[in-house]
Chain A
Amino acid sequence: MPGKKIKKIEIDGRKISCEKEETILQAAKKAGIEIPTLCHDDRLEPYGGCRLCIVEVKGVGRPLPACTTPVTNNMEIRTENDTIKRIRKNIISLLLSNHPNDCMRCEKTGDCALQGLAYRYDVDGSRFEGEQWDLPIRDDNPFITYEPNKCILCGRCVRICNEVVMAGTIDLVGRGFNSMPDTAFRKPRSLDNCEFCGQCVSTCPTGALTDKKARGRGRAYEMKKVRTTCSYCGTGCNFDLNVKDGKVVKVTSAYDAPVNHGNLCIKGRYGYDFIHNADRIKTPLIRKGDSFHEATWDEALDLIAGRFSGLMKKYGNKSVGAFSSSRCTNEENFLVSKFARTVFKNNNVDNCARV
C-alpha cells in the first residue's frame, strides 16, 4: 500500500518487519515480545509518562520509551539490560514508597499492574522514605469506587475520559504532591458530570479505581471469564462475563474485541444485574382465572401444543401466528421462522418491534 513503507527492525535479536508508523511497543507486542508499561493503554494516544517501557536502542545514548518512539528502519532494540532493569526497579520502588501496603484486601490484587511489576522486579517500598496520602475512600456514586491513596498518577483515567469518551469528567486537580485525578471541585460523580461508562475504571492499572458493585465479590483469578456480545444496543460490543459460583459478578472488556476494543458504555459494563434479579420468571405459569399457577415444562408445553392444534383445527391454520423478537438470537429467530412455516403452516410470523 502506498505510504505504508515496510520497515525492518530487530528486537532482542529477532528480526521483525513493521508495516505502518508503528511504535516500538506496538511492533514488540505484535511479535509477542512483552515490554512492561504503566501509563500506556492501546485505546489512548502514546503518552510517555511513567518511563517504565524504556528500551535500549543501538546507537542512541539514553534509553527511549517504547510507547512513544516510532520505529525506524534497521533499528536494533533491546527490551531489557542491567541498566534498564535498574531504572525500572527504581521507578517501581518510588511508586511503592508512597503506596499503601494494602494488597491483602485490595480489590485489585491479582489483576494489579503495580503488584505484578513489584513481583516481577522483586522490589518493595522500603528503599525510599515516601510520604503517603491519607485520603478517605470515595464511593459517592453507584458504580465507581475511588481510593486516591492507591493512585500512581499515570493519568490513564483522565486521558480516557477526555480523549476517548470526551466526557471531561475528571482531570488532574491540585498541585505537586497533592495533585490527583478528580472531578471539578471534587464533586461526587453524578449524571451532571459523568457518564458512568466505567472507562476510567477499565484503564486504571491499580486499585485506585474499581467497580463498586464487584468489590468483595471475588478475585480476578477466581473468575471464569466468558466472552460474549452485549444484549443492549445494536453496536455489538464484546465483553467478558466474570462468573463466580454460578453468578455473573462483573463485566470486563478486552482490547481484542472487534467492535469496541475494550470500550463499553454504562449499560454494557454495569447493566448486568437483571440476570440474577429476583423477579426473573423461573417456571412456566398457566393462567387460572385471574391468576397464574406454576407448572412444569411438560405441563405447559403439552397445554400449548394442544391449544394451538385445537385452534388450527377449529378456525383453520391461518388463525394463529408468532411474534419473534429483535432481542433473541439469530438461531432463535430462525427457529421461529421455521416453526411458523412448518408447524402453523403459514407465514404469519413477524418480528414485532421494528425499531
Chain B
Amino acid sequence: MAGLATSLGAGAATNSLAQMPDIDALFLFGSNPTEAHPIVSLYLKKALQNGARLIVGDPRKTWMAKRADVWLNLCPGSNIALLNGMVNVILKEGWQNKEFIKKRTEGFGELKKKVREYDLKKVEKLTDVPKEKIIEAARLYSHADKAMIVYGLGVTEHRTGTENAMAIANLALVCGHLGRPSTGIMALRGQNNVQGASDLGPLPATFPGYQSVTDSEARERFEKAWGVPMSPEIGLKSVEMLELACEGKFKGIFILGEDPAQTDPDVHEVRKALSSLEFLVVQDIFHTETTKYAHVILPGASFAEKDGTFTNGERRVQRIRKAIEPIAGKAEWQVICELATRMGYPMSYNHPSDIMDEIASLTPIYGGISYERLEKESIQWPCPAKDHPGTTTLYTDLFSRPGGLAKFMALDHKGSGEVPDKEYPYVLITGRIREHYNNGSMTRRVKGIMELVSEELLEINPEDAKKLKIKNGDKVKVSSRRGNIKVKVKVTGRSQPHNVFLTFHFPEALSNLLTSGHKDPITGTPEYKSCAVKIEK
C-alpha cells in the first residue's frame, strides 16, 4: 500500500464496499474477487446487474474477464506500460478532468512528459494488448460518472508492486475519479487483517497510525505514554532481519502467527536464515514449516478463542468475540504482556478493550474507536473522535498529503524480474483459489474442503497441453532455475497460452520453490506473481 500512500496520502482503500453496486464503470485490475474475495464479488456482480461497464486487466481468463466489456489480457509484469498507455490516450483525446488536475494534484507536468513516451505502438508491444482495446478501456473509464478501480495482488505482488499502485492512482487522478461515492480506488489484499496490521504499526518505520519513528514529536508522544525512550532509527524489515541472520549478524526473532518458511518467495534463503538464528520463538495454532526451526513453540489462540478487532479492506474496524476458551489456555495478547513483564517492562490489561483504549489515545485515525461503540456499530477509519461517525469516502476535500494535494508519479515500465526464455518458456503465475487460504494450514484441516480440492493442480491452457501432449490429471514436472516440483495438471481456458498457474496452498507441491526471490524494493513484497518455468512430462 506504499504506492497509494505516496500518491494520495493513505495506504488504504478510498471507498466502502457498500458503494460498489452504484458504480458506472468498474476497472478490475489484477484481482480475481470471485475466487479470492467472494463476498466483495457479490457487490461487483450487483454493479454488473445494474448495468456497470466492466474493464478487466488480468492475464488470466477469470469469471469477470469472461463478462468484461473490455478484457485487457496483458502479459504478466506489464502493468505500468498499460496504465501509462491508457493515461496517454486520455490526455491525447482530451478526456482528462482538467479542473480536478489543476485544483487537487501536483506533478502533472512530469506525468504528461513521461506518458508521452508510451505511444500505443510501444504499449501494444510491451503488454501484448491490441491498441483498440486500450483505447476502449480508457474511454469507458474516463467517460463514466462513477468509476472505480478495484485492484488486487496481481498488481502488488510484483517487484514493481508499489509503482503499479502509483500508476493506478495516476489513472484515477487524471480522470478526477477520487473523492466521491462509488468513485475511487479499492485494493483487495490477501490476509484478513492486513489493513489493521499496517495501521497498528508493527512496522520498522512507523508507530501505530503511520506516525514516523523519525518524527521527534511522534516519538515524544509514545515516550510519554510508554515511559521509555523510543529509538529514532528506522528498524529492519523482515527480509533484512533474515538476510542479516544468514550472515550471522542477527540473533533472535519472535514470530507471531506467520509462516515465512513456506510463504516467502525464496524459501531456501528463509530456511537458511531461520536455522542460523541463535533463538527463534514461533507462536502459531498449528505446526508449520517455520515452527520446525523454532527453539520454543508457543500455542496460539484461534479467532474463536479471543476478543479483539480486525480492520477489513475498506478500513472498517469490527469485533471478533471469544466463543470458546483458548484451547491452550492463553490468547496472544496475554502472552505478549507476560513476556514483556518478565523482561522488565510490566504490561497488563484486563481485556483487549483496554488495549483498544490505548490505541485510540495514541493513534489519531482510531481516536474515536472503543469497544463500547463497536457493540452498536462498525466504524471505518479515520475516526478521530468519539462523536465522529467514521469515514466512508476518503479525500472528498483534501488528500492526506502535505498541502492536501495528490501527487502524480512519473513511472517507467520495468517488467518482471524474470521473463521466459528458450529453456524456461512458460510464465508461472501464482494465486489463490476460493476453497483454500494461504499456506492452507487452516483450510487443509477442513475435511469437506479437502474432499473437494485435495492437492495442488497446475492450470494450463488447452493449446499448451496439446503441445506438451499432456491431459487432465497427468503428473508433470515443473522446474525453474531454482527448483522443481511434481504436480497434477488441470487443463483449462482460464490460463492463457504460455502462462501456467499454481496456488501456494499446499506444502506438498511447494510452488514457492519456484518463485523468483525478486522483491518490491520499497515494501519488500515478494514477486509471487510471475517467474519463468519449464514443464516436462
Instruction: Give the chain B neighbours of A260 by CB distance below 8 A.
Output: 39, 42
Distance (Å) between the CB of A341 and the closest chain B CB? 6
Instruction: Answer whether residue A222 sits at the interface, using C-beta atoms and an 8 A cutoff.
Output: no
Instruction: Indicate which residue in A196, A238, A329, A345 contacts B352 across the interface (CB closer than 8 Å).
Output: A329
Is B347 in the interface zone, CB < 8 Å from A?
Answer: yes
Interface string of A280-316 (1 = CB under 8 A from B): 1111111100001001010011111101110100110
Are B237 and A350 closer than 8 Å at their CB atoms?
yes
> Is A246 an interface position by the 8 A CB rule?
yes
The interface residues of chain B lying within 8 Å CB-to-CB of A354 are 194, 523-525
Kindly state whether residue B76 has any CB partner on chain A within 8 Å: no
From known contacts A164-B42, A231-B192, infer whether A325 and B257 are also in contact, taking CB-CB under 8 Å.
Answer: yes
Given contacts A258-B378, A329-B310, contact A226 B193 (CB under 8 A): no
Q: A232 — nearest CB in chain B belongs to which residue?
A: B437
- Knowing A228-B303, A323-B253, A334-B201, the reply to whether A328 touches B319 (Cβ < 8 A) is no
B448 to chain A, nearest CB (A): 3
A273: nearest residue on chain B (CB-CB)?
A: B446
Is the CB–CB distance between B298 and A338 below 8 Å?
no
User: Least Cβ distance of B122 to chain A in Å?
Assistant: 31
Decide: B38 and A305 in contact? CB cutoff 8 A: no
**Closest Cβ–Cβ distance, residue A177 to chain B (whole Å):** 33
Shortest Cβ distance from A341 into B: residue: B230
CA distance in complex: A322, B282 (Å):
10
Q: Which residues of B contact A224 (CB under 8 A)?
A: 323
Q: Would you give the shortest CB distance from A175 to chain B, in whole angstroms?
A: 28
Given known A228-B323, A349-B204, contact A338–B347 (CB-CB < 8 A): yes
Quick check: A227 and B321 within 8 Å, CB to CB? yes
Interface string of A316-349 (1 = CB under 8 A from B): 0001111111111111111111111111011111
- Contact indicator B238/A270 (Cβ below 8 Å): no
A331 adjacent to B308 (CB under 8 Å): yes
Closest to A45 in B: B49
Q: How far is B286's CA from A281's CA once the two chains are assembled, in angstroms? A: 6
Q: Using Cβ atoms and an 8 Å threshold, which residues of chain A touch B310? A: 229, 231, 236, 329-330
Measured CB to CB, the closest approach of chain A to B217, in angstroms, equals 16
Q: Are A227 and B319 in contact (CB under 8 A)?
A: yes
Q: In the complex, are the beta carbons of A323 and B306 less than 8 A apart? A: no
Contact (Cβ within 8 A) A280 B285? yes
A283 contacts B452, CB within 8 Å? no
What 0/1 pattern do residues 238 to 250 of B give for CB contact below 8 A with A? Answer: 1001000000011
A305:B313 contact, CB within 8 angstroms: no
Taking each of A143, A234, A270, A271, which has the highest tally of chain B beta carbons within 10 Å of its own beta carbon? A234
Q: Is the CB of B317 closer than 8 A to any CB of chain A?
A: yes
Complex CA gap A279/B444 in Å reads 11
A351 proximal to B (CB < 8 A): yes
B470 at the interface (CB under 8 A from A): no
Closest Cβ–Cβ distance, residue A331 to chain B (whole Å)? 4
A304 to B295, CA, bound (A): 9
A319 to B233, CA, bound (A): 14
Q: Which A155-206 residues sit within 8 Å CB-CB of chain B?
A: 164-166, 190-191, 195-197
Is B325's CB under 8 angstroms from A246's CB?
A: yes
Pick the contact of B252 from A270, A279, A319 — CB < 8 Å? A319
Give complex CA distance A246, B323 in Å.
Answer: 8
Indicate if B466 sits at the interface (CB-CB under 8 A). no
| Pairs A–B under 8 Å by Cβ, sample size 14 | A259-B316, A279-B445, A280-B302, A286-B295, A325-B197, A329-B196, A332-B256, A335-B337, A339-B336, A341-B231, A342-B345, A347-B213, A348-B236, A352-B255
- For the complex of A and B, the 10 pairs showing the least CB-CB separation, nearest first, are A236-B312, A347-B235, A329-B308, A142-B448, A265-B38, A324-B202, A325-B257, A305-B342, A326-B191, A226-B323
Besides the known contacts A308-B343, A355-B263, 10 further A-B residue pairs in the complex with CB atoms under 8 A apart:
A142-B449, A195-B434, A228-B320, A236-B312, A248-B304, A270-B449, A272-B446, A274-B302, A301-B339, A333-B201
Chain B residues close to A by CB (< 8 Å): 17-18, 36-40, 42, 45, 153, 156-157, 188-205, 207-208, 213, 222, 226-231, 233-238, 241, 249-258, 260, 263-264, 278-279, 281, 284-287, 291, 294-300, 302-306, 308-314, 316-325, 327-330, 332-333, 335-340, 342-345, 347, 352, 355-356, 358-359, 377-378, 434-435, 437, 441-443, 445-449, 451-453, 523-526, 528
